[in-house]
């Protein structure tokens, strides 16, 4: 194998991952156009991990965690960051090797680094999902999550999907040798207009931190949560047969959008500090109930592996 | 005599599961082999992150052929019955023999079970072991249905002897057993064939895999201590971490790195916790200063640069972690030096338990109780109250939020920074102790007072809301808390009547829980409990002075004493479990617990220990026999007569010499026992009691208790009662079994 070269920028790492997984046969998808807490929320993972149809997708997903906002000052923490997500169903027998190939592709020489698979059971209470796998360590640094999905939306996964999640900023900082995320070259450092991560995101981190922590109107958010919850149920309450077209159309995805919305609003409310410990569990349960309903609906559809009516 | 080698090769097995899995594999396979009629000389099991391996040596080639005679239907039975028997036994009609039995003539068949080759038995056995393997958590993968801890990748199964090795052919969910395995994932990729366990182990080592977890752990510890020693330092021992790390590597390479200068000022516990929890690093200490100065990490490989890249990477990750820790520490120090007011204020917003209020309220209750306990443990009441008020302040610090296991430890540092006296600061750390049954117990008076108050508040609180442990459910670790109290009292030899503190703290809880009780009533009640010691008398005193009790106070009176008694019974159960480890028998503890006061645990323990020690001597036997002989005859007479003989015997009615001698002996014993009891010299007291055996035996030998003269008879029975009283002064000996 050719000596891997070291990438020079954040975007080069993303591009190399895209190229690598495209070569390995994944459909390279685009980010989902909604606010989500992690790449797993993208319907290309959550919904597509359900049912018997094979699937292979990879994509970048901007992710938001309002409570992690640090006004752009913390070297490692951001309220908005990127995840790279790969989902292959059924999980191929050589998924670990494929994964290690992706590390080599972004310039990690596995001959001089110490790569380890350390036990980490994954669970998402809001998605009603869990799986077994590892966090992958490179010289003691967690560079990815590696999970075999066992259950999603309360449904057993058959076949099982293998999911890889790379925390892109952290991984890129490691590969590029950067100590503060805002100092990381976003594009090529020799480009005519060289941009650092901070040039792109420092200001937005400040703005969103202030908004998330102090400004977001909680009454409005509470209303949004309830609206999204009601809308999700409303969508799924519709009969499967569309009276207008006469076709069987179960609206799993539009309903799931509402579940995603409710989940993000909950995260904002959490950042605003208006949710007590006991209420927290109740809200998580409400979001889980929504995702479960969406999962129930999705497995009734063709993409979800149901026989065509 | 072939050897069996079985390897289940998979993706990385969690470190914490490897040891038990290796044991389970050995047990399940060897049990199965033996059940199928094979025998073997020895077996061994091994685990690495990627494999479970079993070697069974000196296995028999085949199970023996066995012949068994089976009785069939009676001669002349219907054909249908005979055919059924033939089918079941697998024999032909002409093979049957007839034989006369008591009940008539029967058909008999000789049923031969052919021995089976070991390979067949293994091929039948192993797939079942794999399918039903007892992993604590298992998973499916791909499109298959097999469950394993992580995806299984290959199965190696061979039988080998001098002539060579043969694959034992079987298949599980598409995996066929073979004779190949893999070495180290990075250092020696590729499969290779093996022909015996010895060959397997040697080739694995060449392929950079140390098969034995013990050998890996030894290498790690040996190299780590040498490396530290060479630098004039020492490794902080951590057996749990060592076992875990040995389960994370197949080829351990120990590397030592520096902790950045900026972080050396952090408390050693912070460095150690952060390094262990996040990075699985060992801490390396400078023995001269006690400071943690370096870290040791265990890599899973050798590299061309002698691990330089790996150390640099690990050091960098550690710096990021410690930068967080230092940020928390610096922020916390500001609040600590300011007197920790923000944190203590913040406890008002932290719910302890829905019904039991906030952490701030809990702290206030603990402070009040600590103040009351203080004089009993030679602590200053005001200092105890102060210490209790700051002991949990660190729960709101950033460091404890990040590392909950550092609660108390940080509290001590922060209290010192706040300018508090060292003995008060120490309470923050020590009042949680003891956590485990072998943990050190606090002995400093202030720490003892607050540790007791903390645990008693926890227990009375959950008793007040009826959340007692049931079966295996004890989410608030109440058993641990009660055992903690038992051990603190015992270790420090404390003389406390727990009842009084149960009552006081239950009143504090109930005062908050019962709506219509007046706060002045609670205050009065607590003051009276302090005076009277128990709830009942205190309650009567309050009613007397106030004229009447509110409805709430009545409710309290109907609940507190029962809960207090119930809690004491819970303590007695804990005490029994605790003393069992000292080989003090259950019945001995019961006997000691049947003499009040039973809420003075030190006294109960002293009596139980003395009794057990005494029972283990010949004198102990004397005491029990003397007591039982007297008690039995007395009981029989009392039952027959329907009266109790408890009026004291009079020596002037004694007739025989033996009777007079017993009176004299009893008088002498009582004279010696009284001061011994007063001084709680229980062994001495019991030695005196045991001396009564001889005069008692002589008395029964020579004297007829049931004399014709009723006065003499009654006097003798009363004498027996006096003996049982004297001998039962320490414990109710009737409860002693055997």
Stated pTM of the model: 0.79
Q: B16 contacts in A (CB within 8 Å)?
A: 119
Residue A50: HSE in the Cβ half-sphere, 13 Å Cα cutoff: 28
- From A91, which residue of chain B is nearest by alpha-carbon distance? B142
Mean pLDDT, chain B, rounded, equals: 92
Q: How many CB atoms lie within 10 A of CB B644?
A: 12
Of A69-73, A294-298, B362-366, minimum mean pLDDT range:
A69-73
Q: Report the pLDDT value the prediction gives residue A308, as an integer from 0 to 100.
A: 57
* Stretch (H or E) spanning B552: helix B551-580
Q: How many CB atoms lie within 10 A of CB B124?
A: 13
| Chain B residues bordering chain A (beta-carbon distance below 8 Å) | 11-12, 14-16, 49, 137, 139-144, 149-151, 153, 186, 248-249, 279-281, 297, 299-301, 303-305, 309-310, 312-314, 316-318, 320, 323, 351, 354
Q: Report the pLDDT value the prediction gives residue B412, as an integer from 0 to 100.
A: 96
Q: Report the pLDDT value the prediction gives residue B571, as an integer from 0 to 100.
A: 95
**Which of B12, B48, B252, B278 is the best residue to mutate to test the A interface, defined by the most A CB atoms within 10 Å of its own CB?**
B12
B34 backbone dihedrals φ, ψ, rounded to 5° = -65, -40
DSSP A213: I
Q: Tell if the CB–CB gap between A134 and B12 is shorter than 8 Å.
A: yes
ipTM of this complex prediction, to 2 decimal places: 0.94
Q: Rounded to whole angstroms, how far apart are CA atoms B456 and B468?
A: 14
Phi-psi region of A183 (alpha: psi -120 to 50; beta: other; left: phi over 0): alpha
pLDDT digits over A134-166, tens only? 999 999 999 999 999 999 999 999 999 999 999
Tell me the C-alpha to C-alpha distance, in Å, between residue B508 and each of B344, B361, B463, B521. Answer: 21, 10, 12, 11
Q: Tell if the CB–CB gap between A139 and B140 is shorter than 8 Å.
A: no
Q: B297 contacts in A (CB within 8 Å)?
A: 140
Cα angle, residue B574 at apex, residues B571 and B576 outer, rounded to 5°: 110
B354 is written with which tokens? Answer: 């829905």
Q: B301 contacts in A (CB within 8 Å)?
A: 114
Full 3-state SS string of B330-364: HHHHHHHHCCCHHHHHHHHHCEEECCCEEHHHHHH
| Pairing status of strand B357-358 against strand A80-89 | unpaired
Q: Report the pLDDT value the prediction gives residue B401, as an integer from 0 to 100.
A: 87
The span from the first CA to the last CA of chain B, in angstroms, equals 53
Q: How many CB atoms lie within 10 A of CB B470?
A: 7
Closest residue to A119, CB basis, from B14, B144, B153: B14
Segments in chain B below pLDDT 50: none
pLDDT digits over A42-58, tens only? 999 999 999 999 999 99
pLDDT digits over A7-17, tens only? 999 999 999 99
Cβ–Cβ under 8 Å, residues A98 and A71? no
B201 backbone dihedrals φ, ψ, rounded to 5° = -65, -40
Task: Calculate how close chain B gets to A225, using CA atoms only, in Å.
Answer: 25
Task: Calculate how close chain A gets to B260, using CA atoms only, in Å.
Answer: 14
Say if residue A1's pLDDT is above 50.
Answer: no
Closest residue to A118, CB basis, from B139, B151, B248: B248
DSSP per-residue string spanning B192-237: EE-SSHHHHHHHHHHTT----HHHHHHHHHHHHHHHHHHTT-EEPP
pLDDT digits over A100-110, tens only? 999 999 999 99
Is A243 part of the contact surface with chain B (CB cutoff 8 Å)? no
Question: CA nearest A146: which of A97, A218, A205?
Answer: A97
A170 is written with which tokens? Answer: 């952290």
- pLDDT category at A131 given cuts 50, 70, 90 is very high
Q: Rounded to whole angstroms, how far apart are CA atoms A132 and B135?
A: 13
B43 backbone dihedrals φ, ψ, rounded to 5° = -145, 150
Q: Tell if the CB–CB gap between B313 and A138 is shorter than 8 Å.
A: yes
- From A52, which residue of chain B is nearest by alpha-carbon distance? B143
Q: Rounded to whole angstroms, how far apart are CA atoms A122 and A117?
A: 14
Q: Rounded to whole angstroms, how far apart are CA atoms B484 and B480?
A: 6
Cβ–Cβ under 8 Å, residues A248 and A242? yes
Is A280 part of the contact surface with chain B (CB cutoff 8 Å)? no
Task: Calculate how close chain A gets to B141, using CA atoms only, in Å.
Answer: 5
Buried b / exposed e over A246-261, threshold 16 CB at 10 Å, is eeeebbbeebbbbbbb
Question: CA nearest B279: which of B237, B310, B233, B234?
Answer: B310
Mean pLDDT, chain A, rounded, equals: 94
Is A76 part of the contact surface with chain B (CB cutoff 8 Å)? yes
Tell me the C-alpha to C-alpha distance, in Å, between residue B721 and each of B476, B502, B609, B672, B675. Answer: 48, 36, 26, 19, 21
Q: Tell if the CB–CB gap between A132 and B137 is shorter than 8 Å.
A: yes
Task: Calculate how close chain A gets to B139, using CA atoms only, in Å.
Answer: 7
Question: CA nearest B255: which of B305, B193, B196?
Answer: B305
Give every CB contact of residue B161 below 8 A, 6+ residues apart in sequence: B1, B2, B3
Cβ–Cβ under 8 Å, residues A37 and A282? no
Full 3-state SS string of B613-634: HHHCCHHHHHHHHHHHHHHHHH
């Amino acid at each position: 194998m050719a000596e891997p070269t070291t990438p020079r920028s954040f975007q080069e790492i993303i591009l190399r991952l895209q190229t690598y997984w495209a070569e390995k046969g994944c459909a390279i998808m685009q980010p989902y156009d909604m606010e989500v807490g992690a790449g797993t929320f993208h319907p290309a993972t959550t919904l597509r991990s359900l049912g018997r149809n094979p699937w292979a997708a990879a994509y970048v997903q901007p992710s938001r965690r309002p409570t992690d906002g640090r006004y752009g000052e913390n070297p490692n923490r951001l309220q908005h960051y990127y995840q790279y997500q790969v989902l292959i169903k059924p999980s191929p027998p050589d998924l670990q090797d494929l994964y290690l190939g992706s590390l080599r592709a972004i310039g990690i020489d596995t001959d001089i680094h110490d790569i380890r698979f350390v036990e980490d059971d994954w669970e998402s209470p809001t998605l009603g999902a869990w799986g077994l796998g590892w966090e992958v360590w490179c010289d003691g640094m967690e560079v990815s999550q590696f999970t075999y999905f066992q259950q999603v939306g309360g449904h057993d996964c058959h076949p099982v999907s293998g999911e890889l999640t790379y925390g892109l900023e952290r991984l890129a900082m490691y590969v590029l040798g950067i100590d503060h995320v805002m100092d990381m070259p976003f594009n090529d450092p020799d480009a005519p207009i060289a941009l650092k991560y901070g040039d792109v995101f420092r200001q937005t981190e400040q703005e969103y931190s202030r908004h998330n922590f102090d400004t977001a109107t909680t009454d409005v958010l509470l209303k949004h949560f309830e609206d999204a919850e009601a809308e999700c149920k409303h969508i799924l309450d519709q009969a499967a047969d569309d009276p207008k077209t006469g076709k069987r159309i179960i609206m799993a995805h539009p309903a799931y959008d509402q579940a995603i919305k409710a989940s993000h609003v909950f995260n904002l409310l959490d950042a605003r500090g208006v949710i007590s410990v006991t209420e927290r569990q109740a809200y998580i349960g409400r979001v889980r109930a929504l995702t479960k309903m969406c999962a129930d609906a999705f497995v009734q559809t063709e993409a979800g592996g149901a026989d065509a009516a | 005599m072939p050897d069996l080698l079985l390897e289940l090769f998979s993706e990385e097995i969690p470190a914490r599961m490897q040891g038990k899995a290796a044991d389970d594999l050995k047990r399940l396979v060897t049990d199965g082999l033996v059940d199928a009629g094979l025998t073997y000389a020895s077996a061994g099991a091994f685990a690495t992150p990627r494999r479970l391996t079993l070697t069974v040596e000196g296995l028999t080639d085949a199970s023996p052929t066995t012949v068994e005679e089976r009785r069939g239907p009676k001669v002349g039975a219907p054909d249908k019955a005979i055919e059924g028997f033939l089918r079941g036994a697998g024999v032909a009609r002409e093979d049957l023999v007839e034989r006369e039995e008591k009940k008539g003539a029967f058909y008999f068949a000789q049923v031969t079970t052919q021995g089976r080759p070991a390979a067949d038995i293994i091929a039948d056995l192993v797939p079942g072991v794999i399918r039903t393997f007892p992993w604590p958590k298992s998973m499916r993968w791909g499109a298959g249905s097999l469950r394993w801890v992580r995806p299984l990748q290959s199965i190696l199964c061979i039988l080998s002897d001098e002539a060579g090795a043969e694959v034992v052919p079987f298949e599980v969910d598409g995996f066929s057993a073979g004779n190949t395995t893999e070495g180290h994932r990075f250092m020696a990729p590729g499969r290779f064939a093996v022909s015996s366990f010895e060959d397997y182990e040697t080739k694995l080592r060449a392929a950079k895999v140390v098969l034995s977890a013990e050998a890996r752990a030894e290498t790690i510890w040996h190299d780590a201590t040498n490396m530290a020693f060479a630098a004039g330092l020492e490794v902080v021992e951590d057996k749990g971490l060592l076992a875990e790390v040995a389960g994370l590597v197949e080829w351990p390479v120990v590397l030592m790195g520096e902790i950045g200068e900026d972080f050396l000022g952090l408390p050693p516990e912070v460095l150690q916790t952060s390094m262990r929890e996040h990075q699985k690093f060992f801490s390396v200490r400078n023995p001269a200063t006690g400071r943690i100065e370096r870290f040791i990490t265990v890599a899973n490989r050798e590299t061309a640069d002698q691990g330089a890249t790996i150390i640099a990477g690990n050091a960098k990750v550690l710096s990021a972690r410690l930068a967080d820790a230092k940020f928390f520490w610096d922020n916390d120090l500001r609040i600590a030096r300011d007197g920790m007011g923000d944190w203590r204020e913040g406890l008002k917003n932290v719910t302890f338990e829905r019904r039991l209020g906030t952490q701030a309220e809990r702290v206030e209750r603990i402070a009040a109780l600590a103040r009351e306990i203080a004089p009993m443990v030679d602590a200053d009441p005001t200092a105890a109250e102060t210490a209790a008020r700051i002991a949990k302040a660190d729960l709101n610090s950033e460091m404890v939020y990040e590392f909950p296991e550092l609660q108390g430890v940080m509290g001590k540092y922060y209290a010192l920074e706040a300018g508090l006296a060292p003995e008060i600061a120490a309470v923050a750390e020590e009042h949680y102790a003891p956590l485990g049954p072998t943990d050190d117990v606090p002995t400093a008076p202030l720490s003892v007072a607050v540790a007791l108050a903390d645990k008693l508040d926890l227990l009375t609180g959950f008793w007040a809301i009826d959340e007692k442990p049931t079966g295996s459910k004890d989410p608030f670790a109440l058993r641990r808390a009660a055992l903690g109290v038992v051990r603190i009292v015992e270790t420090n030899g404390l003389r406390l009547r727990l009842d009084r503190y149960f009552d006081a703290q239950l009143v504090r809880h109930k005062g908050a829980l019962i709506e219509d009780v007046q706060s002045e009533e609670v205050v009065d009640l607590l003051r009276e409990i302090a005076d009277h010691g128990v709830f009942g008398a205190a309650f009567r005193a309050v009613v007397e002075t106030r004229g009447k009790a509110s409805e709430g106070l009545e409710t309290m009176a109907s609940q507190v004493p029962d809960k207090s008694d119930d809690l004491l019974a819970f303590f007695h159960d804990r005490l029994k479990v605790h003393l069992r480890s000292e080989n003090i028998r259950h019945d001995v503890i019961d006997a000691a617990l049947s003499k009040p006061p039973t809420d003075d645990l030190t006294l109960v323990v002293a009596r139980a220990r003395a009794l057990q020690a005494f029972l283990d001597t010949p004198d102990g036997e004397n005491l029990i026999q003397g007591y039982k002989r007297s008690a039995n005859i007395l009981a029989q007479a009392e039952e027959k007569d329907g009266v109790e003989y408890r009026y004291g015997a009079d020596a002037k009615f004694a007739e025989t010499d033996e009777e007079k001698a017993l009176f004299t002996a009893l008088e002498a014993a009582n004279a010696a026992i009284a001061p011994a009891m007063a001084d709680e010299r229980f062994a001495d007291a019991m030695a005196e009691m045991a001396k009564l055996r001889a005069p008692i035996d002589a008395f029964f030998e020579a004297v007829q208790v049931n004399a014709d003269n009723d006065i003499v008879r009654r006097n003798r029975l009363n004498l027996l009662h006096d003996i049982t009283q004297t001998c039962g002064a320490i414990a109710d000996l009737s409860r002693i079994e055997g």
